[in-house]
């Protein structure tokens, strides 16, 4: 099964910011980061239009679940202390 590379929001925004500022060309960014120019074009278009959707990583999802469990636990303990 092919595993796709994933890039963080910060990486994408920083790369597009460098290209937009003229610090680096799309071709150079493509070569340096081993990315296709069409992918960079898509990121650039999505960022400029505000349509880029960032999905949480597996680690972030796990931390959210843990946080929810801890909130429930604190709620139960608070009720017990009040009684």
Encoding tokens for residue 75?
């709620």
Instruction: Specify the CATH number of the domain 1-52.
Output: 1.10.10
SS3 labels along the chain: CCCCCCCCHHHHHHHHHHHHHCCCCHHHHHHHHCCCHHHHHHHHHHHHHCCCCCCCCHHHHHHHHHHHHHHHHHHHHHHHHHC
Q: Evaluate whether 64 touches 74 at the Cβ level (below 8 Å).
A: no
Percent of the residues in the chain that have a pLDDT greater than 90, as a whole number: 71
* Residue 20 pLDDT exceeds 80: yes
* Mean pLDDT, range 50-56, rounded to an integer: 80
Extents of the domains making up the chain: 1-52, 56-83
* Residue 12 pLDDT exceeds 80: yes
* Residue 2 pLDDT exceeds 90: no
**Residue 1's pLDDT is what?**
76
């Amino acid at each position: 099964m092919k595993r796709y590379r994933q890039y963080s929001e910060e990486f994408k925004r920083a790369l597009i910011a460098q290209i937009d500022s003229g610090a680096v060309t799309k071709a150079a960014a493509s070569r340096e980061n081993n990315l296709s120019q069409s992918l960079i074009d898509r990121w650039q278009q999505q960022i400029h239009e505000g349509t880029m959707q960032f999905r949480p990583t597996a680690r972030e999802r796990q931390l959210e679940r843990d946080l929810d469990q801890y909130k429930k636990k604190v709620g139960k303990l608070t009720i017990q202390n009040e009684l």
